[in-house]
Structure 1
Amino acid sequence: MTTEATRFGLSDEERKNFHARGYAGPFTLYEPDEIKQRWGQERLRLLDRSAAVYQDEAAVSGGTNIANYDRHLDQEFLADHITRPEITDRVASILGPDVLCWRSEFFPKYPGAEGTDWHQADTFANASGSPQILWPGGSDFGGTLTVWCAFTDATIDMGCLQFIPGTHRTMFYDETKRMHYDPDLADVEKGGVRRGFFGYDYRELQIDPDWTPDESQAVSMEMRAGQFIVFWSTLMHASHPHLGTTRDMRMGFVGRYVPTSVRVYPDTDAIEEYGGRVGLERYGAVLVSGEDREGHNRIATHTTRNHPFRRRDV
């Protein structure tokens, strides 16, 4: 029976397709006019970092990606976004009733920007060298559910996502290797690669150095503003370049979700990547569904501005 708490959960057929392909959607969360207005307001609020959990000036200045992390922990609109039932019902129908949102990120792409290279993420150790999430039972394969929401239109010309369906069950990269950060890799004018990875060359992690992704199987995931897609982080994914046919940027906002049994930032007190380091003293994962029956992750119940996080009842 469909209840108020589970009305957006994936159907049996949708779950079957998700497990086969590694993704589901797009789904509509906001109407285009609504998200245009809300995002216009939010962009201005994000300039105020006084309540952000990561305050290290060297790490969050200069465009480093760490500056984009976890603004749901201080901004009300983003705090409500990651707990929307349209998202959490679908996530819980895949992961089970007890779910954490352990990270959020912005993914802007400006006119003329290059595409993002093919990549997968399992433990998210690829940049820092240390696992950022660990599934229970000694599992060496897990990943996270990524919910990528288009805050603006995301067309092929503007740099929408690409997936290679069915690749989420096999890792083609070894995250125990460590990529080397070079900001010039993200700048084609300075000799960067056509599709880099925010200052890294993901090819450094390939298990087989001669392997190349089968791009003939790739599908482009165009979305209009206000839509979102759910996919495993282990699914091979990339993005097109922004061709600059419009002066508008493409903005994606991502929430990352795992069961409460997963350990988040185990045995570490900092995030080190993209040439920066930020401490985790003020960090907390958000319980978006069910109960935390494990107790091994720090949980944030309110934003740093004291706005409560909504939780999906089971």
Structure 2
Amino acid sequence: MQLPRGIKETLITVKYEQQAELAKALGADHVVNINNTDVREYVKDVTNGIGFDAVVETVGGAENFDTAMTIVRKQGAVVLVAGYYKPLEVNLSTIVWSEATITGSNCYGYSGMETDFEAAIELIDSGKVDATKLVTHSYPFEEIAEAFRVSADKSSGAVKGYLGPYKLCSPEKMLTMHSEIEKVLETAPPDHNHLEHNRHLDSVLINNLATHPAIIKRMASLYGPDLLLWRTNFFIKEPGAKEIPWHQDFNYWPLEPPIIISAWIAVDSATLENSCLQIVPGSHRKVVPHVKATSDMAFNQMGDLGFIDTSTIVSLEMQPGEFVLFNERTCITQKQIALINGVSV
């Protein structure tokens, strides 16, 4: 976390898990989720009852103001950055007894003759502040409404490592292509023995699917227009087939630099019952060690489950013709389709 000189320890309060992960990645010493932790008691414990030297209140509301006054040390500083849109009923005695200095900070203001925005741009442009980790989405201008919707919905997991599902084509259109795709997969490719790999090289149909404008448009909004299609795979999920273990794609693809964005397209309906793609949101922000896979897995290596938080799994159920995007470090899996008396479930 980039801090002014003299600051030795920081605490960040969050409401959503993606915020907690980002705060940790940026170097916060303490990250407190207000949904399950009493901030006042936590600060009392870690500071031996003294409180923090300075508190920056960014949320607003009487309760948060009172919390700020409770966790600041005597004669400390409280900076109010939040927008207060109506009068608050607060306990002024906390200000008297703490002897704290309270300062308002208008993030749209001026520092001398320079606006705060100009100062921020200068800091980022000079490299003194690295803001890249704060950028979770990029949208073309024509999708500005969607960008505002996502930014306003804090529970959407804006920092999550995947996007979608999006619509590539209608379910009916994808199902009409189904038989043609099967014909491709029944024909041996010209340069290797893997029926499911890199069929965009010998099939116009597969190439057109992989480079569909709906996919390229969104990839380009994230990575720019200089994109290279270097691999396609089909995952054919037969009942009783081995499970695809938790993994990060870049563990198997030694590219340099390791910058990959994958589009996972549903040719058939993808449901929990037939082993849809599952993802751990936010897992792309760290490298997960991979270990030797067990014999019931489809891959020879798998992510070490001790480093994967499976309590936040998202199951990406999709209709034919939908797709999702995820990057090379997003933890993904596809479970085995079980067999009961010869019937897949």
TM-score relative to the length of structure 2: 0.51
* C-alpha distance in structure 1 between counterparts of 2:245 and 2:185, whole Å: 27
Match of 1:268 in 2: none
1:117 Cα deviation (Å)?
Answer: 1.2
Asked if the contact 2:288/2:308 (under 8 Å) is kept, the reply is no
Match of 1:47 in 2: 186
Match of 1:80 in 2: 208
SS in 2 for 1:230: strand
1:235 aligns with 2:335: no
Match of 2:49 in 1: none
Asked if the contact 1:7/1:89 (under 8 Å) is kept, the reply is no
CA deviations over 1:146-190 (Å, ceiling 9, x no partner): 10000001100100111110010100126xx8x58xxxx6xxxxx
* C-alpha distance in structure 2 between counterparts of 1:10 and 1:40, whole Å: 37
* C-alpha distance in structure 1 between counterparts of 2:159 and 2:327, whole Å: 11
CA deviations over 1:47-69 (Å, ceiling 9, x no partner): 223xx3523xxxx2xxxxx4421
Asked if the contact 1:163/1:219 (under 8 Å) is kept, the reply is yes
Amino acid of the residue matched to residue 170 of structure 1?
A: K
1:116 aligns with 2:244: yes
1:134 aligns with 2:256: yes
How many pairs are equivalent? Answer: 202
Relative distance call for 1:19 and 1:54 in structure 2 (3 A) is farther
Match of 2:84 in 1: none
Asked if the contact 1:161/1:222 (under 8 Å) is kept, the reply is yes
* C-alpha distance in structure 1 between counterparts of 2:319 and 2:326, whole Å: 17
Q: What is the percent sequence identity of the aligned residues?
A: 26
Asked if the contact 2:288/2:307 (under 8 Å) is kept, the reply is no
Match of 1:128 in 2: none
SS in 1 for 2:278: strand
Match of 2:283 in 1: 167
* C-alpha distance in structure 2 between counterparts of 1:9 and 1:68, whole Å: 37
* C-alpha distance in structure 2 between counterparts of 1:117 and 1:24, whole Å: 21
Match of 1:32 in 2: 171
Relative distance call for 1:11 and 1:221 in structure 2 (3 A) is same
Match of 1:90 in 2: 218
1:240 Cα deviation (Å)?
Answer: 2.4
CA deviations over 1:11-52 (Å, ceiling 9, x no partner): 535786676011111111122221112111221133223xx3
Structure 2 matches for 1:239-258, cutoff 5 A? 239-243=334-338
* C-alpha distance in structure 2 between counterparts of 1:7 and 1:93, whole Å: 11
* C-alpha distance in structure 1 between counterparts of 2:259 and 2:344, whole Å: 29
SS in 2 for 1:148: strand
1:220 Cα deviation (Å)?
Answer: 0.7
For the aligned residue pairs, the C-alpha RMSD in angstroms reads: 3.3
CA deviations over 1:86-133 (Å, ceiling 9, x no partner): 0000000011121111111001111233432111122634xxxxx2x1
SS in 2 for 1:44: helix
1:237 Cα deviation (Å)?
Answer: 0.9
Relative distance call for 1:7 and 1:216 in structure 2 (3 A) is same
SS in 2 for 1:117: strand
Q: Which has the higher helix share?
A: 2
Amino acid of the residue matched to residue 164 of structure 1?
A: V
1:12 maps to which of 125, 132, 147 = 147
SS in 1 for 2:232: strand
* C-alpha distance in structure 1 between counterparts of 2:219 and 2:344, whole Å: 28
1:217 aligns with 2:312: yes
1:200 maps to which of 292, 300, 303 = 300
